[in-house]
Amino acid sequence: MPVIILLCDGMSDYPVNALKGKTPMQAAYKPNMDRLAAFSELGLCKTVPDGLSPGSDVANLSVLGYDPVSAYSGRSPYEAASIGVDMKPTDVSLRCNFVTLSEDGIFSDKTMIDYCADDIGTDEAVSLIKSLNEKLGTPVFTFYSGVSYRNLLLWENGVTGLDCTPPHDITGKPVAPYIVKNSLNAPIYDLMEQALPILAEHPVNKERIKAGKRPANAIWLWGEGKKKELTLFSRKYNIQGAMISAVDLLKGIAKTVGMDVINVEGATGYLDTNFAGKAKAAIDALKGGADFVYLHIEAPDECGHRGEIENKVRAIELIDRLVLSPILDAFGDKLRLLIMPDHATPLSLGTHTRDPVPYLLYKGGAGKYSSFTEETAAASGIFVPRGEMMIDKLIGADIAGREPKNHYAGKKDTLTQ
């Protein structure tokens, strides 16, 4: 029987005033998810263990069946694996975002305008990375190109524990409170400052400004980690899995655990991604012999980070229509399906939270709800205390605790409408 996890990154949210007090999941027209609710188990799942940050790295490891407490070593080593960087045990990698900072004064005077520099194109980012390597690269520090704003720095014989804040957590905020230099991280903040004049004079950014786009006038380094070996997915679960994602993080996790990585042309990680192509790739993989597909859709998360209310609703609707519908047409009731976010990305906060997330588990049978939302998932009273339990529920053992508390009740929308 085909097995799919449809991971809708950052989909869950809080009620939004502009949506008449509904969450995007409640406001979205998603007939396929809602129809499945009548034949599925709904519940809440805690994907982020206490003591770990609610990043996509931690949460997706958890949903994929790996305990982040023991498996997590930092975000960027998985991205390094995806782009083919061979890390030595003593190397430290860091995510290198191209960002847009304000023009104010020196580095510490600036404000984080945009954590992704207007979704800078990959070709543009490659040119910028080349210049950074030419002028800042050393035997100790090497920059690598990734996709769009998501790039990488490798630090030979580097250190961890740098306490660098993700840029999407400080959008619209002055950066000074987040530039806290110490003996460990000073080289990293020095690199960020040294990159400013290089990027300011780069032809790519001059052309972007002429075109009315935000320049990639700074780098932001964060998410450091060392390479870590994990048990192969096929050995752990006795099934062969495939990963479909536009994001290097997810591809890197998949490569690390020995899953096949399926690249889809036009997959961008945002609202313009090739939703239909991802669905077709999943269907083809399962019909071609794969036992399991982890189908990751980034778009709701990106909309949450940007506070794009209508686009987040639309992202959920596109997933339902262009991804879920053809999958259901292809397999009917001969399917095991888990639909859930990895974490919440509330529009009012613009960043991830550790709230337990709603899930829909379809294995055939009867449910009792007419929609799949944060509210109906909480109303079920089913609470799964660890994310890595979800894959056991999907492919075998039915493991769940019960915690009827509604984690979304009373959350406030603080957006200025």
The percentage of the chain sitting over the pLDDT mark of 90, rounded to a whole number, equals 82
Whole-angstrom distance, CA of residue 128 vs CA of residue 109: 23
Whole-angstrom distance, CA of residue 234 vs CA of residue 87: 23
Residue 403 has pLDDT above 70, yes or no: no
Residue 72 has pLDDT above 90, yes or no: no
Q: Crossing angle of helices 299-306/309-318, nearest 10°?
A: 170
Residues ≥6 apart with Cβ < 8 Å to 64: 5, 233, 253, 257, 294, 388, 391
* Other beta carbons within 10 Å of 379: 16
Residues ≥6 apart with Cβ < 8 Å to 390: 45, 63, 65, 338, 340, 359, 361, 384
In the block, tokens 């380094």 appear at 221
* Domain residue extents for the chain: 3-72+229-402, 80-225
- Counting Cα atoms < 13 Å in the Cβ hemisphere of 360 gives 32
Q: In this predicted structure, what is the pLDDT of residue 408? A: 53
Residue 417 has pLDDT above 70, yes or no: no
Cα 140 from chain centroid (whole Å): 29
Strands (E), 285-397: 292-297, 336-340, 357-362, 382-384
Structure tokens at 291: 């036992």
Instruction: Name the nearest CA neighbour of 15 among 341, 409, 354.
Output: 409
Instruction: Name the nearest CA neighbour of 43 among 12, 83, 84, 88.
Output: 12
Instruction: Name the nearest CA neighbour of 351 among 154, 169, 186.
Output: 169
> What are φ and ψ of residue 375, in 5° steps?
-70, -45
- Counting Cα atoms < 13 Å in the Cβ hemisphere of 368 gives 4
Instruction: Tell whether pTM > 0.85.
Output: no
Whole-angstrom distance, CA of residue 411 vs CA of residue 407: 8
Residue 416 has pLDDT above 50, yes or no: no
- The pLDDT mean for the chain works out to 92
Q: In this predicted structure, what is the pLDDT of residue 398? A: 41
Whole-angstrom distance, CA of residue 58 vs CA of residue 256: 14
Residues ≥6 apart with Cβ < 8 Å to 296: 7, 9, 60, 243, 244, 245, 246, 247, 250
Residue at 179: amino acid letter = I
Q: For the CA atoms of 287, 387, 308, 314, what is the dihedral angle to 10 degrees?
A: 30
Instruction: Describe the strand order of the beta sheet including 357-362 as a list of residue ranges.
Output: 260-262, 241-244, 292-297, 3-8, 336-340, 357-362, 41-45, 382-384, 401-402
Q: Is the dihedral of CA 25, 27, 32, 34 positive or negative?
A: positive
Q: For 24-71, how does the pLDDT look when each residue is reduced to its tens digit (9 = 90+)?
A: 999 999 999 999 999 999 999 999 999 898 989 999 999 999 999 988
Cα 5 from chain centroid (whole Å): 15
Q: For 250-298, how does the pLDDT look when each residue is reduced to its tens digit (9 = 90+)?
A: 999 999 999 999 999 999 888 999 999 999 999 999 999 999 999 999 9
Residue 375 has pLDDT above 50, yes or no: yes
Q: For 313-354, how does the pLDDT look when each residue is reduced to its tens digit (9 = 90+)?
A: 999 999 999 999 999 999 988 999 999 999 999 999 999 999
- Answer whether 159's CB lies under 8 Å from 226's CB: no
Q: How confident is the model at residue 399 (pLDDT cuts 50, 70, 90)?
A: very low
Q: 3-72+229-402: what CATH class?
A: alpha beta
| Mean predicted confidence (pLDDT) in 294-308 | 96
Q: How confident is the model at residue 364 (pLDDT cuts 50, 70, 90)?
A: confident
- Neighbour-count burial for 34-44, b at 16+ CB within 10 Å, e otherwise: bbbbebbbbbb
Whole-angstrom distance, CA of residue 412 vs CA of residue 37: 26
The percentage of the chain sitting over the pLDDT mark of 70, rounded to a whole number, equals 95
What is the DSSP secondary structure assignment for residue 227, as one 8-state letter? -
- Neighbour-count burial for 191-220, b at 16+ CB within 10 Å, e otherwise: bbeebbebbeebebbeebeeeebbbbbbbb
Q: In this predicted structure, what is the pLDDT of residue 374? A: 98
| Mean predicted confidence (pLDDT) in 140-159 | 94
- Neighbour-count burial for 114-127, b at 16+ CB within 10 Å, e otherwise: bbbbbbbbbebbee
Q: In this predicted structure, what is the pLDDT of residue 414? A: 40
Q: For 98-139, how does the pLDDT look when each residue is reduced to its tens digit (9 = 90+)?
A: 999 999 899 999 999 999 999 899 999 999 999 999 999 999
Interior CA angle at 353 toward 125 and 396, to 5°? Answer: 95
